[in-house]
Structure 1
Amino acid sequence: MNGALPFDRDRLIAMPGLDYLRATMDGRIATPPIWSLMGLDLVQVDPGAVVFRGTPGPEHGNATGTVHGGWYGTLLDAALGCAVMTEVPASANHATLEYKVNITRVARAGQMLEARAHVQHHGRRTGVAVAEVRGVEDGKLYATGSTTCIVLEGG
């Protein structure tokens, strides 16, 4: 953890989502373990938008030697959910109600991809976000996604 504070639900609820994610990105609060398991990094946080970068490894492959669809789903769910989280106030939390993934191009292990997500709607009870996944080196579109999240007052 390199001095980062471990996950603490009370701290999460006490902070606005934007501040919590910035603290995570800056290394002051530990990232969720799944991010390291999947090779994901949060690289930019702004109100209503985030950017993740990820590099799938051979362990993220499927039987055909390409990146498993679940890897794209995890990258997109992280980016989409965190985009919504930037709009969640202190004393609230959020959870994914549904998300959709469209894979448009085959990625290979070792290829860095970037997911850019932004909020389309954020209300008192729900948030909706969309994202694109593009190759960092080639700029090509690899996947798109969308989500609807529920905002849970009181966490």
Structure 2
Amino acid sequence: MPEQFLPTSVDQLPTRETTMSMSGLDFMQKILEGELPLAPIANGLNYQLQDVQLDQVIFRGAPGFEQMNPTGTIHGGWYGTLLDSAMACAIMTRVPKGSVYTTLEYKVNIIRPIRPGTSVDCIGVVEHAGRSTGVATGKIVGVEDGKLYATGSTTCIIMTPK
């Protein structure tokens, strides 16, 4: 897999014109190939894009000390952000050229704690993609142990700016 591009400043992010000039699937594939940058949040939360297909996106991450809460477990926001990224980006694979999307709502169910340093895959899968909304589900599973750590669901709005 090519090295992914982690931006260090706002001017390294794609312009609106760049984003609107291609389909969401093409956009996501260019991120995977390192031609476009990952979202800056991926660096701070220690995850990267692993795979992109029509209707499915996989992120791989390993939370560490920086993602822990004061009680010594991984903060629920890490699970939520990872699930939001995978589920919304799965919907992005269905966004047509000239359109954009954003998350309207998402839900997370944490099933078991992830130990710091544990590699997990977060798989987002499109359940529905229409003209104005997309719905996806997601799950976080251990790379080594195959255990299910969390599930989620989301609704995104798909917009064609005028």
> Under a length normalisation based on structure 2, what TM-score does the superposition of the two structures give?
0.91
User: Structure 1 runs of 4+ off > 3 angstroms?
Assistant: none
| 8 A contact 1:13–1:154 mirrored in 2 | no
Is this contact kept in 2: 1:94–1:152, CA < 8 A? yes
Q: Does 1:113 align with 2:120?
A: yes
Specify every segment of 5 or more residues in structure 1 that has no aligned partner in the other structure, as ranges.
Answer: none
- State yes or no: 1:104 paired with 2:111: yes
Give the counterpart of 1:84 among 88, 91, 98.
91
Tell me the alpha carbon deviations over residues 119-138 of structure 1, each in whole angstroms, 9 at most, x when there is no partner: 00010000000011001110
Change in CA separation of 1:2 and 1:60 when aligned onto 2, cut-off 3 Å: closer
Q: In the alignment, residue 73 of structure 1 is paired with which amino acid?
A: G
For residues 99 and 6 of structure 1, the distance between their equivalents in structure 2, rounded to whole angstroms, comes to: 25
Q: Deviations over 1:4-39 (max 9, x none)?
A: x63222101111000001001110011110011111
CA distance in structure 1 between the partners assigned to 2:47 and 2:13 by the alignment: 18
Residue matched to 1:143: 150
CA distance in 2: counterparts of 1:108 and 1:59, whole angstroms: 12
**Does the 8 Å CA contact 1:81/1:96 hold for their aligned counterparts?**
yes
What is the CA–CA distance in structure 2 between the aligned matches of 1:2 and 1:134, rounded to whole Å?
Answer: 24
What is the aligned partner in structure 2 of residue 30 from structure 1? Answer: 37
Query: 2:67 aligned with 1:60, yes or no?
Result: yes
1:16 match: 23
Unmatched 5+ residue regions in structure 2?
none
Residue 63 (structure 1) shift: 1.5
Counterpart in 1 of 2:141?
Answer: 134
Q: Given the alignment, which residue of 40, 43, 49 partners 2:50?
A: 43
Partner secondary structure for residue 70 of structure 1 = helix
Q: Displacement, 1:113?
A: 0.8
- With normalisation by structure 1, the TM-score equals 0.95
Q: Per the alignment, in what secondary structure is the counterpart of residue 45 of structure 1?
A: strand
In structure 1, how many angstroms separate the alpha carbons of the residues matched to 2:116 and 2:81?
A: 15
Give distance in 1, aligned partners of 2:6 and 2:160.
32
